[in-house]
Amino acid sequence: MSIEKEIQKRRTFAIISHPDAGKTTLTEKFLLYGGQINLAGSVKGKATARHAVSDWMQIEKERGISVTSSVLQFEYGGFCINILDTPGHQDFSEDTYRTLMAADSAVMVIDGARGVEPQTRKLFKVCGRQGIPIFTFINKLDRDARDTFELLDEIEQELGIRTCPINWPIGSGKSFKGVYDRETKEIVEFRDTMKGTKEGEETRISIEDEEAAKEQIGEEAYALLNDEIELLDGASDEFDQEKVDHGKLSPVFFGSALTNFGVEIFLKHFLKMTAPPLPRKADIGIIDPVKSGFSAFVFKIQANMNKAHRDRIAFMRICSGKFEAGMTVYHVQEGKDVRLIQPQQMMADERHVVDQAYAGDIIGVFDPGVYAIGDTICASGSNFRYAGIPTFAPEHFARVRQADTMKRKQFVKGITQIAQEGAIQIFQEENYGMEEIIVGVVGVLQFEVLEYRLNNEYNVEIALEKLPYEHIRWIKECGTEIESIKGTSDMKRLKDMKGRPLLLFVNAWSIGMTLDRNPGLVLEEFSEN
């Protein structure tokens, strides 16, 4: 198969949602249809229960939540699908933001009972800034859900995107009868029998076959459905592929990931509506995925995915061309040619070596400590950079000390590697070095993950002392010595791991006061890659 055909069959998307909307369950059902698993695992439950395939980290299995993005690849219906399953919990949203940079589209999972939630809004804004096409799956229709028109109106009002229902639910909870397929004008009957398997017969009845339809869903549900369809056809937006491609219109689907109803219907429509890898902007212009040589960028680094391997993997999104094992490429930030060692593709923590991969694919390569998030890799002889990945300002800070001073080497190695993954940011006080550092995180649950990982992966116990600081600013220009900055009583001077000076503040008003006291001082909220 030609490079062009291989790239055209690729679909790379992220799944995003508020916690507990059913994102990881939906991901598992996709894998079920792709033949990657034979029985879907329960995301929650007793210690003896199966765990979600995409939750590979031990703490995820114990807590029943996703705390890091995972990469999953499978084939279905002639397509090669790369799923980027992201954390739903807001404390791990920075990992989700970075992962969205590697996706061509996003599937937004919404709980039918709860509608648009705070994390949904935050994630949607990121997609909107990048113009990513968004497909909506309204989940948990096997439970009592809110009025469907109300849900659609909320999506449009809260997120500022038009909606186009591709199918329509018939009831919810105990009265859930199935969905109406607007394209075929058929009623697809709901059966609570498939669950963790893909076997099961799908019953379809034409809505024009009034007698059969009434018998199947009941006279009252049939009458209500006809009224809703009439209203829907007159009021809703028509499907427009161009608007979908530009993130202006979201196709909406309804179903139940837990009972496996509506998942395959959604998957089939989604693959038709979403695009193959698109051209990406670099500092030299637009890079065509087919016509350009190999290029990729690093969007994630993960250490110790498998304790038996004790390795460090740099995840790269291939943006153009074809990758072949053993090829020499140019690492732009390092300014030298390198060989991508042990190229692998992932199924959560399971891995297999790949001989070739194409634009749209995600590969993991062994990282000896030379790669950083946002790095560009391109064909030897080329030299360009893709746009960097922003680093979000931490909002919570703590002083970290090692409990056993004899384990300083493991402590430094562990906390440095976790920081390089982007999960935390670490800062040093001028006179303390690495014996005592300050950690900054976007969400407080990251402190718990840090403590857990240092203990389980590096055999290091730490003591955390929460600090009152809430605001961070990097010093871009100073006009004087850093030590001579006239600050406020709640200000603290630090430097990051690249040696860049910065200031911490307890109160927001202290930032303005410090700027007023120091003419020529320029502060920035975000650091550059």
Mean pLDDT of the 504-514 span: 94
pLDDT of the residue at 373: 85
pLDDT of the residue at 429: 80
Domain containing residue 218? 12-73+85-273
At 66, the pLDDT band (50, 70, 90 cuts) reads very low
Please determine, for residue 6, whether its predicted confidence score (pLDDT) is greater than 50: yes
Q: Which helix (H) or strand (E) holds 397?
A: strand 396-402
Of 379, 408, 427, which one is at a domain's C-terminal end? 379
Residue 224: other Cβ atoms inside 10 A: 14
At 490, the pLDDT band (50, 70, 90 cuts) reads very high
Residues 143 and 34 in one domain: yes
pLDDT of the residue at 308: 56
Please, are residues 52 and 64 in contact by the beta-carbon 8 Å criterion?
Answer: no
Please determine, for residue 484, whether its predicted confidence score (pLDDT) is greater than 90: no
Please, are residues 72 and 14 in contact by the beta-carbon 8 Å criterion?
Answer: no
Return the exposure string of 416-450: e unless at least 16 CB atoms fall within 10 Å of the residue's CB, then b.
ebbbbbbbbbbbbeeeeeeeebbbbbbbebbbbbb
pLDDT of the residue at 191: 74
Work out how many domains the chain is built from and give that number.
3
Of 379, 410, 431, which one is at a domain's C-terminal end? 379
Helix 263-273 vs helix 23-33: crossing angle, to nearest 10: 80
pLDDT of the residue at 43: 35
pLDDT of the residue at 60: 46
pLDDT of the residue at 350: 65
Please determine, for residue 92, whether its predicted confidence score (pLDDT) is greater than 80: no
Residues 259-304: pLDDT tens digits? 889 998 999 999 999 999 999 999 999 999 999 999 999 988 877 6
Please determine, for residue 430, whether its predicted confidence score (pLDDT) is greater than 80: no
CATH of the domain at 333: 2.40.30.10
DSSP 286-342: EE-TTTS--EEEEEEEEE-SSTTT--EEEEEEEEESEEETT-EEEETTTTEEEE--S
pLDDT of the residue at 56: 41
Of 222, 245, 273, which one is at a domain's C-terminal end? 273
Residues 60 and 197 in one domain: yes
Nearest CA among 317, 314, 335 for reference residue 380: 335
Instruction: Give the residue with greater pLDDT, 166 vs 527.
Output: 166
